[in-house]
Amino acid sequence: MNEQVHRIGSAKLVEATRLKLGDTAFAATALAIDTAIIVAMSVSVGAVYHLWVYGDHGDLASYAGVGLGTALLYTLPFLFRDEYRLHDFLEGRRSIGHIALVWTYAFLCLGLIGFLTKTAGLVSRGWMVLFYFTGLAALVAIEDLMRRGLVALAKVDRIARRRLLLVGSAADIERLVLELPADHPGVRVVGTVELTALGVDGETLPGALERKLAEAAVKARALNVEDVIILTDWSRSDMIHALVEPFRALPIGIHLGASSIVGPFSEARISHFAAVTAVSLTAPPLSPVQAFVKRTFDIVVSALALVLLSPLFLAVAVLIKATSKGPVFFRQRRRGYNQAEFRIWKFRTMTTMDDGDRIEQARRNDQRITSVGRYLRSLNIDELPQLINVLKGEMSLVGPRPHAVAHDELFEKRIATYTRRLNVRPGITGWAQVQGFRGLTETDDAMQKRVECDLYYIDNWSIAFDLYIIALTVLSPRSYINAH
């Protein structure tokens, strides 16, 4: 029974003595950069706004104070979740959506503090709105620059990569090594412990496993290992405990390899339900906080829009009634969140009111479209009454577009991921629409592209993403193509 601890590729057993950037130094640097950027944006935006509106730069000290407070509120969640580490940046875990959510949380807390201390009236609302958007843009940009900088440092071997020891059968080790490139910028395999010869796949000889693992723990200390990954069958809990125990005497992370089981699930994590421990493979598309933020945004904007657009609604209603027979509004069954059915509100643009088992989609130069309806559809005005659905909670301002129930029943049988579209509320506009995927969906391929855009939106949601899509809906020519 032999244990083999060897080198993988050209990986060194001892890091080079030249200076390299480690987790602690990087975390302190990234924290300082985030703080400096937020304070700088607060002061600069405040000074420019005050100069533009009032003719002088205003109180720079108060701008700096607000910036420092905002920086504290923004950085604390990342610090508590230990998300200032090198690999969080290198692997893109701090996504735009995550940054936008934490930034929005910081501003909500700032507003609450201002309300409770009765100091909210001391700052300009215009300045705060500008600070929110410019600060968010600056943070996203600096995050990308830091990630690019780390990748560049990794290429010249200036990053102190985490040192891994792999424990398992030869086949399992080989499989993981293939999954983890030798030049990965964040980690380095410095040794392995092959257990096949010890009988791990069958009966372990008395005392052999314990002796060899004790030697492996000593070797791990000598190699300055930071993480041990144990590769074994999850059903063998007794074996897992035996493999883990010798390494618990070291100040290192011990991990159970799970690529073959949870690899396809990027958000897998450990969860606890009372006394039950489980591996959570997926989570709801939006967390409770995210759902609250999105719903609040929908209510405020849809209510305000309905009030402001009421004269337009009246004018369109008069035009529809004056030019064609039938009701002002078109109501049709659609499927919403979790496939719950509702009736959508749209301005009537056609001479038909189809809502059966077979619905013919509108085509270019469709004779069923009224003269006024053609203009309403080309300008997307026919969609505006869906603000009522948004206010009622049946839809969102932004999300996957709801299709007629008949079309849902058709495509959910032909596209495996189709039903995932309705894991969030459907939207008046969506990522697929601003990418030009609208209009006829006569083929599976046409619908597949739309579904891919919808799923991308669900997986990458943020308030900033919603605002971007709304802006594109109004300004981008792609949003108006295939509108017929």
46-63 pLDDT, tens digit each:
999 888 888 887 788 888
| pLDDT band at 16; cut points 50, 70, 90 | very low
For the whole prediction, is pTM greater than 0.85? no
pLDDT at position 71: 93
Q: Which domains does the chain have, with CATH numbers?
A: 23-155 (no CATH), 162-280 (3.40.50.2300), 288-480 (no CATH)
Question: 125 has which bridge partners?
Answer: none
| Closest to 231 measured CA to CA, from 208, 206, 263, 203 | 263
The alpha helices in 17-59, defined as continuous H runs, are: 23-54
pLDDT at position 252: 87
- Greatest mean pLDDT among 15-19, 109-113, 133-137 lies in 133-137
Cβ atoms within 10 A of the Cβ of 193, count? Answer: 25
Give me the long-range contacts of 303-311 (CB less than 8 A, separation at least 24). 303/391, 305/384, 305/387, 306/387, 306/388, 306/391, 309/384, 309/387
> What's the farthest any 2 CA atoms get from each other in the chain?
93
Question: 228 has which bridge partners?
Answer: 165, 254
pLDDT at position 8: 38
| Closest to 34 measured CA to CA, from 96, 103, 86 | 103
The C-alpha atoms of residue 43 and residue 415 are separated, in whole angstroms, by: 51
The dihedrals phi and psi of 442, each to the nearest 5 degrees, come to: -80, -20
Tens digit of pLDDT for each residue in 203-257? 455 577 778 888 888 888 888 888 898 888 777 787 888 888 888 888 888 888 8
Evaluate if residue 442 carries a pLDDT over 80.
Answer: no
DSSP code, position 269: E
What the block records as the tokens of 31 is: 């924290």
pLDDT at position 426: 95
HSE of 185, CA atoms in CB hemisphere, 13 A: 22
Q: Angle, to 10 degrees, between the axis of helix 23-54 and the axis of helix 125-155?
A: 150
Higher pLDDT, 179 or 366: 179
The C-alpha atoms of residue 45 and residue 40 are separated, in whole angstroms, by: 8
What is the percent of the chain with per-residue pLDDT over 90, rounded to a whole number?
25
Higher pLDDT, 184 or 99: 99
pLDDT at position 298: 95
| Closest to 71 measured CA to CA, from 125, 135, 122, 153 | 135
Average pLDDT, the chain: 82
- Average confidence (pLDDT) over 151-179: 81
Cβ atoms within 10 A of the Cβ of 215, count? Answer: 14
Evaluate if residue 4 carries a pLDDT over 70.
Answer: no
The dihedrals phi and psi of 361, each to the nearest 5 degrees, come to: -70, 155
Higher pLDDT, 20 or 388: 388
- Greatest mean pLDDT among 213-222, 366-375, 449-458 lies in 449-458
The C-alpha atoms of residue 145 and residue 72 are separated, in whole angstroms, by: 21
What the block records as the tokens of 333 is: 């069954």
pLDDT at position 409: 85
pLDDT at position 34: 94
